[in-house]
Chains A and B, each alone.
Chain A
């Protein structure tokens, strides 16, 4: 019995380790390449350690001679802008859907459920035409607007608010608290872990999104991180793939670091929401 448990544990470690190597390999390759001198990038399969540390020049090129920093800044603006509007509109609406009776509630929730199956690519064409007509292409607004609506957030927060104890709400109402106060001072603070988990979803999705920025953005000044990488790849590296990989590492880093910091909270938040 003991030996069987031991064997199982060894086996599971083995599987997890092999998987981990496969998961990590591209990252290791990316980091190794990012410190390699340009002339050594290709044809170095069998001597993975660079002959000369070229990390400084590669990262310097990515940071100072490319559009990558600008793209990252744009990414931050877009992600935070989207998240702010998403939370400001979805939280009260989700609370209303969960706890208040109002005309049209059923229809609205039905639409939310329907919306869950509609990816951005579906309304993209008409939205693009409308933005073009309004002369708003290639603006931050165009980048953010379609994502102000988050049916996923509405659904998630509604599920959460449904579990919020009714007695507390009643007590608060008896104390003379208005619904507005109840949402922002009672319900939302209780939902913080769910909000955290949702924020991770939202930021990861919009930092990395390619489809929509590819359509509405044309200038370097509005490039988002994926567009920054594409432009860097095509024209700006001048064939230096070391610098390209440095740029890729820089663009990947913020989310990875953020996840490392917020991991526990994220998993707890997931558990607390309807996603369990």
Chain B
């Protein structure tokens, strides 16, 4: 590109040309990703919003505009309402247990010297495993008459529990399995965070009079882990929100709808009942929830964290 093509005089035409060249390169580099972003994210979102105000059913010939009827139906739909309640209960358990459990594990493992890598591997194992395959194992383990868990719990004085088929317990069981799979991931993230805390900070804190391990943790480790905590919190929220595999394989939303979750109901409506318009409306609401939660968390955590 010739320098003379710069439209207006600049004190350093070469510099301006370079700027333009860099801008062009930047646009070119970003273009493929931007195109994908439009094709895979933005365009579908627009279509989704449009679908959500129709009564479209997959394969149907005629489509009718129904305004906000789908949204209205959703909030009086008992299945959707319990799916929301179940999903929030699930998140309310998995989120704190996942974040603080991961942090506690990381702190314990971090302090180990010789056995550290062993524990790292063991706790990370469930993360890499295929949840569908492992859910089949869990179904086995939790079989009320054939699996080892029920007799074990009975021996511990819990009585004869059927963890998957009792409507009062099924959701908690799925949450525990979710936690089982998630803990190692969060632990590894926190371990990475811990190893980045400079040693001398602890010495400085010791000089300041921080005595015990707890004091050290509260005054140095925890604040330094801010960005990690934020990341872990957001990823844990989203993956807890997305609970699906275990529902499909283990309970299919039952018993008595005790494990109906948002994504499972969404899947049923969209790809099993083929109520496309209604499912689209549900998806829009799901997205609103996710955005709201992320914003909220980002706000809450950012107040205490200065992102590096």
- Direct A–B contact in the complex, CB atoms closer than 8 angstroms: yes
Interface residues of A (CB under 8 A from B): 8, 12-13, 15-16, 19-20, 22-27, 29-30, 33, 42-43, 45, 88-90, 92-93, 95-97, 100-105, 108, 111-112, 114-119, 121-130, 145-146, 148-149, 151, 154, 173, 178-180, 183, 204, 207-208, 210-211, 214-215, 225-226, 229-230, 233, 241, 244-245, 247-248, 251-252, 255-256, 258-260, 263, 266-267, 270-271, 274-276
Residue of chain B at shortest CB distance from A121: B263
Query: Is B287's CB within 8 Å of the partner chain A?
Result: yes
Return A231 CB to nearest CB of chain B, in Å: 11
Q: Which 10 A-B pairs have the closest CB atoms?
A: A100-B26, A102-B26, A123-B44, A93-B33, A248-B133, A92-B29, A126-B44, A179-B25, A226-B132, A270-B192
Interface residues of B (CB under 8 A from A): 18-19, 21-27, 29-30, 32-34, 36-37, 39-45, 47-48, 51, 58, 105, 108-109, 111-112, 115, 117, 119-134, 136-138, 140-141, 143, 146-148, 151, 180, 183-184, 188-189, 191-193, 195-196, 213, 227-228, 231, 234, 238, 241-242, 244-245, 248-249, 263, 266-267, 270-271, 276, 279-280, 283, 286-287, 290-291, 293-294, 308
Add 8 more A-B contacts to A108-B37, A225-B133 (CB < 8 A): A16-B115, A26-B134, A26-B137, A122-B44, A122-B290, A123-B45, A148-B40, A226-B133
Tell whether, in the assembled complex, residue A271 and residue B195 are in contact, meaning their CB atoms are under 8 Å apart: yes
CA distance A59 to B17 in the complex (A): 65
CA distance A173 to B134 in the complex (A): 52
Tell whether, in the assembled complex, residue A149 and residue B141 are in contact, meaning their CB atoms are under 8 Å apart: no
> Taking A16-B109, A93-B34, A208-B132 as contacts, is the C-beta distance between A115 and B41 under 8 angstroms?
yes
The interface residues of chain B, by DSSP majority, are classed as helix
Tell whether, in the assembled complex, residue A22 and residue B180 are in contact, meaning their CB atoms are under 8 Å apart: yes
> Taking A125-B48, A271-B192 as contacts, is the C-beta distance between A204 and B128 under 8 angstroms?
yes
18 residue pairs bridging A and B, Cβ less than 8 Å apart: A8-B213, A12-B111, A13-B112, A26-B141, A92-B30, A93-B32, A95-B29, A100-B26, A108-B30, A117-B290, A129-B276, A130-B44, A149-B40, A208-B132, A226-B130, A248-B133, A251-B133, A255-B128
CA distance A254 to B248 in the complex (A): 24
Residue of chain A at shortest CB distance from B263: A121
Tell whether, in the assembled complex, residue A103 and residue B41 are in contact, meaning their CB atoms are under 8 Å apart: no
CA distance A43 to B36 in the complex (A): 52
CA distance A89 to B35 in the complex (A): 10
